[in-house]
Structure 1
């Protein structure tokens, strides 16, 4: 198991990064928030988990070990795979997810694309006693990445996380109308995720 990696950032996408470790570039899937905190040429330290399938080895990276641990925990529930687990962390913080599970807040959980009412109820039932105590986290301690403008890029990232094209476009339109000063892709993406996610 690859539990963490530390190296130089070679590429930053909206939901994935490439980190060079010992001369090898490792493609690491991550949340938009984690990707936005990294800079090309800068140093990165990520907590990671390697998902092994018959046809692929996929590395997922997180800004904190807490995010990684929750990513792994929610996948113990039948029907929750890496894509849904990553989308949960893109929509809400680990503490928000734990609070929703501990409190049986199905409405908050179904805001993640790919999770229906029955799936949310199953997550609550299976994990209510396993989520552990809430951890005080530093909210939004990352700076926006200077990635330029592009509503299309934000919509594509949201669609990649599981929302429909209409949901993605509507969210981008709403946050742009509410705050026209949002021009950076990472800022737009964060605002759109807040719009789509639990309040």
Structure 2
């Protein structure tokens, strides 16, 4: 098992990055929370979780151990796979996920694309006691970019999260017309809320 990767970040996008370690590039899937922390870094460490499927070996990376812990708890719930857990952590901060579960606020989870009422209620039921033992304290620092590159980066992230291209493009255009100064992670979160 690969517990973490420490190296040079290559081609950081809102949904993935490549970590170069001694000339070998590891493609790592990340959430918006992790992206917001590493987007301006050249080097760093990502805590990782490996998922092995019949047709692929997938690496998921996290900027801190708390986000990884929440991810592992989420994928332990029936009906929540790795991509859905990453989507949840792109839509909500780890401490917001913890708070929603601790306060039995399944509606907060239901607002996320791909999470139905039963899955949200199951997550609350199965994770409430486990989450109560964990503490998360994460602060997101927004980044700045040009409107065109922000739109393209946001589109790529939304597509990687399984959002329909046409729907994503329409919502991105509408939001950027209204608020052209939106930071990338804020733009993606607003699109996710409107879907």
Normalised by the shorter chain, which TM-score bucket? 0.7 to 0.9
Assess, with a 3 A threshold, how the Cα gap between structure 1 residues 41 and 177 changes in structure 2: closer, same or farther.
Answer: closer
Contact 2:31/2:87, CA 8 A, preserved across alignment: yes
Residue in structure 2 matched with residue 191 of structure 1 by the alignment: 187
* Alpha-carbon distance between aligned partners in 1 of 2:163 and 2:41, rounded to the nearest angstrom: 31
Q: Deviations over 1:99-156 (max 9, x none)?
A: 1111111211012221111111111111111112563524213644679625244234
> Which secondary structure does the structure 2 equivalent of 1:2 belong to?
coil
Contact 2:36/2:140, CA 8 A, preserved across alignment: no
Count of residue pairs the alignment pairs up:
194
Q: Deviations over 1:62-106 (max 9, x none)?
A: 111100111011111111110001001000011100111111112
> Which secondary structure does the structure 2 equivalent of 1:12 belong to?
coil
User: Are 2:61 and 1:61 aligned?
Assistant: yes
Contact 2:147/2:180, CA 8 A, preserved across alignment: no
User: Are 2:171 and 1:175 aligned?
Assistant: no
Residue in structure 2 matched with residue 48 of structure 1 by the alignment: 48
Contact 1:84/1:112, CA 8 A, preserved across alignment: no
User: Are 2:139 and 1:139 aligned?
Assistant: yes
Assess, with a 3 A threshold, how the Cα gap between structure 1 residues 98 and 38 changes in structure 2: closer, same or farther.
Answer: closer
Q: Which has the higher helix share?
A: 2
TM-score, reference length from structure 1:
0.83
* Alpha-carbon distance between aligned partners in 1 of 2:141 and 2:181, rounded to the nearest angstrom: 20
